[in-house]
Amino acid sequence: MNFPKIPLAQWVDHLVDWITNTFDPVFNAITGFIEGLLGNLVTLLGIGPSILLILIITLFALYTSRWGVAIFTLVGLLLIDNLGYWDATVDTIALVLSSVVLTIVIGIPFGIWASQNDTAKRIITPILDFMQTMPAFVYLIPSILFFGIGVVPGILASVIFAVPPTIRLTNLGIREVPKDLIEATEAFGSTTGQKLFKVQLPLAAPTILAGVNQSIMLALSMVVIASLVGAPGLGAEVYRAVTQIKVGEGFEAGISIVIIAIILDRISQNLRKPLFGNIINKKIVYSVLAGLLIVAYAAVAISQAKPDKTSSKNVGDQVNYEITGIDPGAGLMKSTEKAMKDYGLKKDWTLKEGSAAAMTAELKKAYEKKEPIIVTGWTPHWMFSKYDLKYLKDPKGSYGKGESIHTLTKKGFKQENPGANKILDQFFWKPSDMEEVMVDVQDGAQPEKAAAKWVKSHKQEVGKWTKGAQKGNGKEVKLVYVAWESEIASTNVVAKVLEQQGYKVKLQQVEAGPMFAGVADGSADAMVAAWLPTTHKDYYDKYKGKFEDLGPNLKGTKLGLTVPKYMPIDSIEDLKK
């Protein structure tokens, strides 16, 4: 049986393309709405000195929960403030609150629907299973295409991930209302609405709130993942720490998330029956809180309203003064920060963090609509083969000269495995070679297959790499690489060549920091992915002396701000206008 592969991926791609193009105005409206909402919320929460909000939250914790929780809240929040994560915490709280509001607005009606209608329940249940088991990362991909990078796809991915418990428990709570009570409401001639609002929902309230509590926890657990597409907050701090292996900072940001999680959990659990609900009626407290929030929010929203600027032809206005970046830990991001300083862009412009995948998705979206966009780009990258792009000139040299990609091995690898070491040492190719593989991969080929195809059609070059190297006879070589398209291509090609020579190759995909750490501590044998002297400078310096540098395997890379060719600017200096 030789069935052709079902092109599921292509179908999904086409569907997503179609949705992106068809509903673009809707998505833009949603993005604008949520961004505005969230922006105002962040401003509102950050309006006074941090101690003000800390005290309000502490008082509220005291009202709803035990003394212990209140003390924990006070101490925990003061600690976060002291560590310097207050702004990130405000971002995170705003993100979680927005997700939870959306979760409630979406989840409870769906839960009610599922409880009233068995067919609806049969349809919704498998979808919920799907939503909960599908890795949350996957939602980020279409989210970026629909909503661009930033906080909105993060919120929406959080909502998709967090909404199932609310739907499930709303449904369960309503269905668990004793049958004789339902019969009683019906026997007295209640309408469906009366049955729902007078009996079912009040009785299901504890279960529904338990579901909302779970949704809050899930939304919070999504903040780290959401930071991959540029959501700000504690998640971004954690993500940055991971990519740069900063144990201490990672711990600080992590513990901040834990503190927020415990506070949100305890308070939301006790909302229904506050500890001091007897002394001050909860309706009064909640009304006052809600009233204050609405008034303050309205004030913030009005004061934040910006003048309309769509008529302006300025490049900065067209792209909203945003440069779309990649992973926060990348050297390219550091260089971009430097460039923004050098060219005096720091004040007006923001560099959006995200990931390489998110950046290319943004680019794809803008490119197809011929919209202006500025991204942080580098060569070799398949996007240069696929789209007509240009680097902005860098007269001040902020991005330095072109970089090389180096091959590094662990200490003593040469003695341990001279054959493989020789191949790795002789491995050298051109950016155009690499892009050939990258485009294949981008068009849907498996990296191994694309690498094998390249190796097959470039026998002469491969011959040069393997010249004089002894056969492997099953000896193992462990290669690490970072999941950039360029490194996926080069590592797979090298792996293919090593395998042809009889080596058993084990590939491990990690973040940039762990890649260096692995080679430095000897848990990996080698890598062909060190961008020098700029991109990976920090890691290179940090682990210097703990690895062997076999020199460049590719020269002539380039970094810089990249725009589509249809944009009427040529130099970074043009951005100042």
Partner 1 sequence: MEAKVSIRNVTKVFGKSPKAAVQLLKKGYSKKDILKETGSTVGVNNASFDIYPGEIFVVMGLSGSGKSTLIRMINRLIDPSSGEILIDNEDIVKMPTSQLREVRRKTISMVFQNFALFPHKTVLENTEYGLEIQNVSPSERKDKAMRSLEIVGLKGYENQMPSQLSGGMQQRVGLARALASDTDILLMDEAFSALDPLIRKDMQDELLEIQDSMKKTIIFITHDLDEALRIGDRIALMKDGSIIQIGTPEEIMMNPANEYVERFVEDVDISRVLTASHVMKRAEKISPDRGPRVALQIMKDQGYSSIFIVDRKQRLLGAVTADDASMAIKENKTIEEVMNKDVLTASEDTLLSDLLEPMANTNIPLAVIDEEKRLKGVIIRGAVIGALAGNRDGLNGKEDDE
Binding residues vs partner 1 (CB under 8 A) = 178, 180-181, 183-191, 194, 198-199, 202-203
- In the complex, least distance from residue 209 CB atom to partner 1, rounded to whole angstroms: 14
- In the complex, least distance from residue 214 CB atom to partner 1, rounded to whole angstroms: 23
- In the complex, least distance from residue 320 CB atom to partner 1, rounded to whole angstroms: 50
Nearer to partner 1, 10 or 191 (CB): 191
Nearer to partner 1, 39 or 277 (CB): 277
Q: How many alpha carbons lie under 13 Å from residue 161 in its C-beta half-sphere?
A: 26
- In the complex, least distance from residue 199 CB atom to partner 1, rounded to whole angstroms: 6
Nearest to 98 by CA among 228, 215, 230, 11: 215
Nearest to 168 by CA among 140, 220, 217, 131: 131
Nearer to partner 1, 71 or 184 (CB): 184
- In the complex, least distance from residue 206 CB atom to partner 1, rounded to whole angstroms: 11
- In the complex, least distance from residue 279 CB atom to partner 1, rounded to whole angstroms: 21
Cα 249 → chain centroid: 19
Angstrom distance (rounded) from CA 179 to CA 202: 15
Nearer to partner 1, 203 or 301 (CB): 203
DSSP class of 380: S
Nearer to partner 1, 189 or 307 (CB): 189
With residue 64 as reference, give the H or E element that holds it: helix 50-64
Nearer to partner 1, 186 or 476 (CB): 186
String of DSSP letters for 98-118: HHHHHHHHHHHHHHHHHHH-H
- In the complex, least distance from residue 515 CB atom to partner 1, rounded to whole angstroms: 59
Asked if residue 148 lies in contact with residue 91, where contact means CB atoms within 8 angstroms, the answer is no
Nearest to 50 by CA among 84, 100, 96, 98: 84
Q: Is the dihedral of CA 407, 413, 414, 418 positive or negative?
A: negative
- In the complex, least distance from residue 167 CB atom to partner 1, rounded to whole angstroms: 23
> Beta strands of 308-427 (E only): which ranges?
322-324, 350-352, 375-379, 389-391, 403-410
Provide, for the chain, the percentages of residues in helix, strand and coil under a 3-state DSSP scheme, each rounded to the nearest 5. 65, 10, 25
Nearer to partner 1, 198 or 430 (CB): 198
Nearer to partner 1, 197 or 286 (CB): 197
Angle at 63 between CA 59 and CA 66, to 5 degrees: 100
**Residue 337 zone, left/alpha/beta (φ > 0; ψ -120 to 50; rest):** alpha
Nearer to partner 1, 180 or 308 (CB): 180
- In the complex, least distance from residue 267 CB atom to partner 1, rounded to whole angstroms: 23
